[in-house]
Amino acid sequence: MTQTQNNIPGPSQTEPVELWYTRCGAATASALAIQKDWLQAEFSRGGTVLRSLRESDSLDILNSHYHHKLTGLFREGGNIPPIWAKAQGQDTAVIGITWLDEYQGILTLAGSGIREIADLQGKRLGLPLHKHALIDFQRGAALHGFVTAFGLAGLDATEAVFVDVEGFEGDRRERAFRPAGLARNTEVEALLEGKVDAIFLRFARGHRAAQDPRFHEVININTLDDPLLRVNNGTPRPITVDRPFLEKHPDLVVRYLAVLLRTAAWAEHHAREAAELLIPENGGFGLEDVWASHGRDVHLSFSPKLSPAYIKGLETQKNFLRDWHFLQADFDIADWIVEEPLAEAIKLVEREPDLAEFPTALVA
């Protein structure tokens, strides 16, 4: 009698590969692909299971949005958390970068007499403080905005008077995944209450506040010609994955990037619809606010690249965080970049531009 082989797993019994995705509540190619269900469709064809961090009840999994310790996690969004995680020793790789400008403004009270950047010297500059955050990216973003402004005026930012403004904490899920602009605006409250003399705001909510007659806009950093002066948490946005997963499943990483490339190509030909999809990502502000924050050409900004200019922007942000003591250790940006998956994804899209999940003639 031959021994039964039923205990040997066959192909149908193979455990599917688990993938996770997370993106910030902001304008990303991932946000568009998720809203259109294209990312979900790509990994529902068997052999893989795609999950969102938002689905998890595990605090450690939710915190992977910041520390990036979850294997199989793809992250697209603000650059401060992934840079911080890399400096902490997390073995991640940058497999793509997008450059999507956003409103960055420094506001004062209209009647304060603070009109120009030079007037900020010696004034109380509000910096958000989130005591329980793994990495306080909002504080880092505000600090970078003020430092940029001081540099433009030839002022020494190390002599600036920074005042902590304790931010609304909420629960972990809300802090990680709420759309940009939905957080309680404690900086605006501090300005109105006279606790600080100037604040830094981003996104559509920042642009909307700049239109309020109670406030005066000292500078809109997003209007500066030099892209490196516009670098902050949201610009540029790296796409990261843990390196062990990349080495084990390079084909899945390529497929993930291919979805983002196709989504970006779709956005190029659907300007208004792409911008409308960003409305919930920007805290529900209207279409005109989205365009005012990101520019009328926002639909052209979603394609992942690894160009020297994009990498230089990421390095600029890393160096800022290092110099202002947000990082545990320094690292070489070049060692963080892995170019092969994006190159293969571009070839895949060129070979198969019209997958069933996407409109025909998606790629020009």
At residue 356, the pLDDT reads 42
pTM reported for the whole predicted model: 0.90
The answer to whether 165 touches 195, Cβ cutoff 8 Å, is yes
Q: What is d(CA 254, CA 270) in angstroms, rounded to the nearest whole number?
A: 24
Give domain status of residue 364, yes or no. Answer: no
- pLDDT in the model for residue 281: 76
> Which residue type does 259 have?
V
Q: Return the number of other C-beta atoms located less than 10 Å from residue 174's C-beta.
A: 12
pLDDT in tens, 126-179: 999 999 999 999 999 999 999 999 999 999 999 999 999 998 765 554 444 444
User: What pLDDT is recorded for position 354?
Assistant: 57
CA atoms of 348 and 342, how far apart (whole Å): 10
Same domain, 155 and 226: yes
On whether both 263 and 222 belong to a single domain, the answer is no
In a domain, 356, yes or no: no
- Reference 22, options 62, 59, 60; nearest CA is 62
Q: Which residues contact 220 (CB under 8 A, 6 or more apart)?
A: 103, 104, 105, 210
Q: Say whether both 164 and 53 belong to one domain.
A: no
Looking at the structure, tell me whether residues 197 and 125 fall in a common domain. Answer: yes
User: Do 123 and 198 share a domain, yes or no?
Assistant: yes
Give 318's Cβ-side CA count (13 Å radius).
23
Evaluate whether residue 359 is within a structural domain: no
DSSP string, 281-338: GGTT--HHHHHHHH-TTGGG----B--HHHHHHHHHHHHHHHHTT--SS---HHHHB-
122 and 224 inside one domain: yes
pLDDT < 50: residue spans in the chain:
1-12, 173-183, 355-357, 359-364
Strand residue runs (E) in the chain: 17-23, 48-52, 73-76, 92-98, 104-109, 124-129, 161-166, 199-202, 215-220, 237-242
Q: 202 with 346, same domain?
A: no
pLDDT at 170: 59
Model pLDDT, residue 78: 94
Domain assignment present for residue 362? The answer is no
Residue 133 falls within a domain, yes or no?
yes
Residue 330, burial from CB neighbour count under 10 angstroms (0-12, 13-18, 19+): exposed
Helix (H, G, I), strand (E, B) or coil at 269: helix
Query: Which pLDDT does position 24 carry in this prediction?
Result: 76
CA distance 359 to 3: 52
> Is beta strand 48-52 parallel, antiparallel or unpaired with respect to 17-23?
parallel
> Is 19 found in the same domain as 128?
no
Count of domains forming the chain: 2
3-state DSSP call for residue 49?
strand
Question: In this structure, is residue 7 part of a structural domain?
Answer: no
Q: Is residue 45 domain-shared with residue 65, that is, in the same domain? A: yes
- Could you tell me if 150 and 33 lie in one domain? no
Question: Residue 364 has what pLDDT?
Answer: 36
Is-contact 265 363, C-beta < 8 A? yes
What CATH number does residue 151 fall under? 3.40.190.10
Neighbours of 139 (CB within 10 A): 22
Contact yes or no for 78/326 (Cβ under 8 A): no
Backbone angles phi, psi at 50, to 5 degrees: -100, 130
pLDDT of residue 168: 75
**What pLDDT was estimated at residue 239?**
97
Domain with 317 in it: 14-100+234-351
SS3 of 107, please? strand
